[in-house]
Structure 1
Amino acid sequence: MKQTNRSIVMTGLMIGTFLTAIEGTVISTAIPSIVSDLHGIRIMDWAFSIFMLTSAVTVPLFGKLSDVFGRKRLFTIGTGFFLFGSALCGLSWSMESFITARGIQGIGAGGVMTISTTIIGDIFPIKTRAKMFGMIGMIWGVAGIFGPLVGGFFVDALSWHWIFFINIPFGLTSVFLITTGFKENRRRKKQKIDVAGAASFTISMAALLYGLQRAGESGRWLDAQNLILFTLFITVLALFLYIETRAEDPMIPVSVLWQPIVAITNGLALVASAILMGNDMYMPMWLQGLLGYSAMASGFVLTPMSITWMVGSFLCGWLLAHSGVRISGFIGTGLLLAGTFWLELLDPGVNPLLYYLITSLLGLGFGLALTLTTLCVQSAAGHQMRGAATASNQFFRSVGQAIGAAVFGAYFNTSAAERALCHGQDPERVLNGLNAMLHSGGGRDHPSYGQIFQDVLFFSIHHVFVVMTILAIAAVIIAFFLPGQLPDEKDHKV
């Protein structure tokens, strides 16, 4: 029997990881053009939240299915979903069709992310495995740096459609390398699939996000339909937790979640990820809609955040060794608070260098805070539960991003409608007018759109930044409850 060619497999995994990683940042600088072309500012948050929601649900499911049907088969299926969704994104004719395609993309991304990590565990011994995970982490950093630039380049040079079409040849290459280089053991342990847990979680999250979306569109958070949706969310979420405590192979082991350090750090991961989504959605809109930046130029402004994110990740280990968990958490969340507070104070006339400073601060804070949460969760779990604990951390990050996208989108729409009424304007007309302003250069170079539209956009994004600052304060408070040092790992050795 032929042996696995680790170099070929690792190359395929890195290509697949890069495609799914860059998809989270490449759209940041393109979303204003997409929204303008497809006329969907009211529901633009779903373009982010649906991707995060479907990937969050499928991360644990693909892991379970790969144990039953094999890694290679499920990697191919996951990549197939991702590429099919990419093609549909590029061919979208409306914002609704684009959002549907993003959901399909998210399903595939969840599969690629979780199976890539699992395959590395299958083919590398533990000492080498750590280096391979470091290479995968480097891929995420590179994707973070180049994602906004790639998005801006395609929008300015070709069109936003090519952001998605370009995935297809690289994705097929990844599948070819995995299928030819990976020789897996076909003996699999039979496990039950937690269908009830996955279904109940999906229903609860869909009810929450749809309720937030409706509230943002109508401005009536407590009308009958929204109350029904929020009640459904709470009820089905409780059912989900009940199912998980009794499932033979739960999607997310609740026993892991109840450990104090895991609960605290996962809560911090959720809040920090929500802040991250707010920055990714509304910083490009501020730069392009109010300052007249091109998509490429706004990508350059976001680039320092990706660089300092990597720096923060590297610093996290040193800080933990010298200052402990709680101090490291305070430093990371304090940087997030400083960055969001500065965002709250912005006006269109500030020195452009300030934007680079803000994104640098935020990147350093995210790198410290989010890396810290992963290290704490892994240290708290024994060897047998470490994979589940790490999955729970990724799960809460994804849910935080999905909920953050919906909450910020709802609050943006509510604030825009409120400001339009202050000007004596029809909120529907003003929101439609904002679509035009979101073309590159639309803020300053097209005065025909009027000061009213610019004022509404400034007011709405400013209020989103205020909410981000409040969440950053909450993150600092959560950091106060972190332990002084990492848990003792003497009983957790392999």
Structure 2
Amino acid sequence: MSERKTNRPFVLAAVMLAMFMGAIEATIVSTAMPDIVAELGGFSLYSWVFSAYLLMNAATVLIYGKLSDIFGRRPVLFIGIGIFLIGSVLCGFAVSMEQLIVYRFIQGIGAGAVMPVATTIVGDIYTKEERAKVQGYLASVWGISAVSGPALGGMLVEFVSWRWVFWINVPLGVVSVMMLFLFLHEKVEKKKPEIDYIGTILFLIGISVFMYLLVEAGKTAYTVPLLAAGMLALLFFVIHERRTAVPMIPFHLWKARPILIANVVSLTTGIILIGISTFLPMYVQGLMGESATVAGFTLTAMSIGWPIASSLSGKLMMSVGYRTTTLIGGAALLAGGLMFAFMDPSFGPLWAGASSFITGVGMGLTSTAFIVSIQNAVEWHERGAATASNMFMRNIGNTIGAALLGGVLNSRLAAYLQANPEAPASLSVDSINELLGEGAAMTHSARFILNEGLTASLHAVYWVVFLFAVVSFALLLFLKKGE
């Protein structure tokens, strides 16, 4: 690493821009989804739009982390951004929900490089003493993207087209690549690439099977054989990882209690995060009757709370310690989850926004503390893999959450319609397509029944989110003072 030639302020700006592209993706697509469903149909495939992206993101994040330790951060990040932009362009041209899901797979393959490698670059060019402060700057990206992302997404949907929520990534990615090319200079001892392909394939098979079962929620006739196949794949994955010299997941890093708990809690908070960002716009638009722009601002609140808490996280760790900082964050997650669980359409978007903000505070306090702790615990040659392992666990949480909560929503809504004697036979889960659109051809009674069903289903989703907030807090209690 030749820090003498690297222009740190410009590299930090380029990294923040790349992270902004990844961060804006989370909120801007969620804001557009009700309108995408209204145009393309396929509400029953709603969660697959997120799951496809998150699955490939999770499957590739550790590979990119490992590659960045071998070939350097810059070329790996360039490849990731390039694939991400190709996927983004294709997503904007999708004419069916199935097409959009395929293109989101491509986008996810590239996205796996953006967050972990960008974060690792900062860990490389700044000292241990500087990292907590700079990680706070990186966290502010979530605030900037949140203020502009949902608002921009809402306006694009209302005044132009939802397709532009994908195309907006192109100029951001191009500028970031140009700045990194000009201002980041690395001195890397290139080694023979040793990639855990077998582990990657076993992991991909296992997680894909479980994701499919979660989304379909028992509707497939092959539940038992698929479940067995998924469990076997994950079992062989764990056995293989423990034996191979180049594991996809470096389990030896997890022997430290703070790293172990940080990674497991990142899994549970990943589920919370996707549950809110995926389904809140649907709640605000479909049930509260607000516009896409207003729905976007309710998500903005979460991402404003996130960077505010992240900037305070470094100071808190210095004054009250790592354990207390994460426990305060865990308590905020509990409070936010409870507010979502008790939310009613009559409460309006202010309640939704306040719930988001408090949840964002919890996310900011915990995630920043986790990254600083992990990066301080390892040397340069393992920092890419260690940082990626934490991102990996959050991505797995996102993936599981999108599938699990999508399955809860679909099965709860289907059960509600089946149990309601007044529901017309023509009503199904995919009738939500019309509800999220203009709904002009829908009778008043059918609209009322769908509204009630969607309300009950989303409440079930948010109770599951709260349950994971409880699990997160309980796990944080296992941290010891001084860690």
Of residues 445-454 and 325-334 in structure 1, the stretch that sits farther from structure 2 once superposed is 445-454
Contact 1:145 1:303 in 2 (8 A): yes
Paired letter, 2:277: D
Contact 2:120 2:387 in 1 (8 A): no
2:425 & 2:61 partners in 1: Cα distance? 39
Flag the 1:12–1:322 CA change in 2: closer, same or farther, 3 A: closer
Please list, as runs of the form range in 1=range in 2, the aligned pairs for 1:190-269 lying within 5 A after superposition. Answer: 190-215=192-217, 218=219, 225-269=222-266
Contact 1:288 1:442 in 2 (8 A): no
Flag the 1:43–1:325 CA change in 2: closer, same or farther, 3 A: same
How far residue 113 of structure 1 moved from its aligned partner, in angstroms, is 2.6
Contact 2:303 2:360 in 1 (8 A): yes
Please list, as runs of the form range in 1=range in 2, the aligned pairs for 1:17-416 lying within 5 A after superposition. Answer: 17-69=19-71, 71-120=73-122, 133-185=135-187, 187-215=189-217, 218=219, 225-350=222-347, 352-378=349-375, 381=378, 385-416=382-413
1:379 & 1:175 partners in 2: Cα distance? 27
- The gaps in structure 2 that reach 5 residues or longer are none
Paired letter, 2:283: W
CA-to-aligned-CA distance 1:5-36 (integer Å, 9 cap, x gap): 55554444333222122111111211111122
Of residues 353-362 and 450-459 in structure 1, the stretch that sits farther from structure 2 once superposed is 353-362
TM-score by length of 1: 0.88
Flag the 1:302–1:114 CA change in 2: closer, same or farther, 3 A: closer
Flag the 1:323–1:122 CA change in 2: closer, same or farther, 3 A: closer
TM-score by length of 2: 0.90
2:107 & 2:169 partners in 1: Cα distance? 11
The equivalent residue for 2:435 is 437
Contact 1:35 1:438 in 2 (8 A): yes
Of residues 124-133 and 200-209 in structure 1, the stretch that sits farther from structure 2 once superposed is 124-133
The equivalent residue for 2:457 is 460
Residue 159 of structure 1 aligns to a residue whose secondary structure is: coil
Flag the 1:16–1:325 CA change in 2: closer, same or farther, 3 A: closer
How far residue 394 of structure 1 moved from its aligned partner, in angstroms, is 1.2
Flag the 1:428–1:56 CA change in 2: closer, same or farther, 3 A: farther
Paired letter, 1:200: L
Contact 1:272 1:370 in 2 (8 A): no
Contact 2:284 2:349 in 1 (8 A): no
Flag the 1:428–1:57 CA change in 2: closer, same or farther, 3 A: farther
Paired letter, 1:350: F
How far residue 141 of structure 1 moved from its aligned partner, in angstroms, is 3.1
CA-to-aligned-CA distance 1:346-380 (integer Å, 9 cap, x gap): 22222543223222211112222333333444455
1:66 & 1:372 partners in 2: Cα distance? 23
How far residue 67 of structure 1 moved from its aligned partner, in angstroms, is 4.7
CA-to-aligned-CA distance 1:445-490 (integer Å, 9 cap, x gap): 994752111111111111111111222222222122121222xxxx
Paired letter, 1:138: S
The equivalent residue for 2:17 is 15
Of residues 190-199 and 134-143 in structure 1, the stretch that sits farther from structure 2 once superposed is 134-143
Flag the 1:231–1:90 CA change in 2: closer, same or farther, 3 A: same
1:347 & 1:129 partners in 2: Cα distance? 41
Is residue 479 of structure 2 the alignment partner of residue 482 of structure 1?
yes
Of residues 48-57 and 313-322 in structure 1, the stretch that sits farther from structure 2 once superposed is 313-322
Aligned length, in residue pairs: 479
Contact 1:309 1:366 in 2 (8 A): yes
1:351 & 1:95 partners in 2: Cα distance? 30
Flag the 1:162–1:368 CA change in 2: closer, same or farther, 3 A: same
Percent identity (aligned): 38
Residue 334 of structure 1 aligns to a residue whose secondary structure is: helix
- The gaps in structure 1 that reach 5 residues or longer are 487-494
Contact 2:66 2:384 in 1 (8 A): no
Contact 2:30 2:277 in 1 (8 A): yes
